[in-house]
């Protein structure tokens, strides 16, 4: 069973998702997408597997989104994918792929729907908010 996370270790949500995966007993394949961005075909495949338009994968905060005018409704999915290929920081994260599907895991507890194995114990986000109780059951 392979679980893959497109991860940014500087992102709290991404770190929380990684730890939720590990809390299920799995050790995922970690792709630091800013160092090793997906190729165009892989990015298109991820978007298709998630069932979202390319626009929904764009990250705005801390990126050149506004200066590039990416809010222009006339831009096509291909245009937006071109922008993400040129500047991987525009790809929102974390993206998780498991045998159960693929999703942009924001908020972090979204990953729980993708994990084949249950949580092994309690889990709280870095900010202290409990997501999983001691019995491994989702709280949020």
- Residue 39 belongs to domain with CATH number: 3.40.30.10
Task: Look at the block and give the residue holding tokens 């338009």.
Answer: 53
- For residue 122, being part of any structural domain is answered with no
Q: How many structural domains does the chain have?
A: 1
φ/ψ of residue 91, rounded to 5? -80, 120
Catalytic residues: 11
* CA–CA separation, 59 and 26 (whole Å): 27
Full residue range of the structural domain in which residue 71 is found: 4-15+31-116
Signed CA dihedral, 110, 112, 113, 115: sign only: positive
Tokens standing for 1? 């069973």
Tokens standing for 128? 């202290």
* CA–CA separation, 24 and 27 (whole Å): 9
Contact between 124 and 13 (Cβ < 8 Å): no
- Bridge-based pairing of strands 95-98 and 130-132 is unpaired
- For residue 125, being part of any structural domain is answered with no
Specify the pLDDT at position 140.
73
Residue-level pLDDT, tens digit, the chain, 140 residues: 699 999 999 999 999 999 999 999 999 999 999 999 999 999 999 999 999 999 999 999 999 999 999 999 999 999 999 999 999 999 999 999 999 999 999 999 999 999 999 999 999 999 999 999 999 999 97
Q: Produce one character per residue of 112-133: b if its CB has 16 or more CB atoms within 10 Å, e if not.
A: bebbeeebeeebebeeeeebbe
- Bridge-based pairing of strands 95-98 and 4-7 is antiparallel
- For residue 129, being part of any structural domain is answered with no
């Amino acid at each position: 069973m392979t679980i893959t996370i497109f991860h940014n270790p500087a992102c709290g949500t991404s770190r929380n998702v990684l730890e939720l995966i590990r809390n299920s007993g799995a050790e995922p394949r970690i792709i630091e997408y800013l160092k090793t961005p997906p190729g165009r075909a892989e990015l298109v495949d991820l978007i298709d597997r998630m069932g979202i338009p390319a626009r929904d994968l764009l990250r705005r905060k801390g990126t050149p989104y506004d200066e590039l005018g990416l809010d222009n409704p006339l831009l096509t999915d291909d245009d937006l994918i071109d922008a993400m290929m040129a500047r991987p920081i525009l790809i929102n994260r974390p993206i998780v792929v498991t045998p159960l599907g693929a999703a942009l895991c924001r908020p972090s507890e979204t990953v729980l729907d993708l994990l084949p194995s249950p949580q092994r114990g309690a889990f709280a986000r870095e900010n202290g908010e409990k997501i999983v109780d001691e019995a491994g059951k989702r709280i949020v």
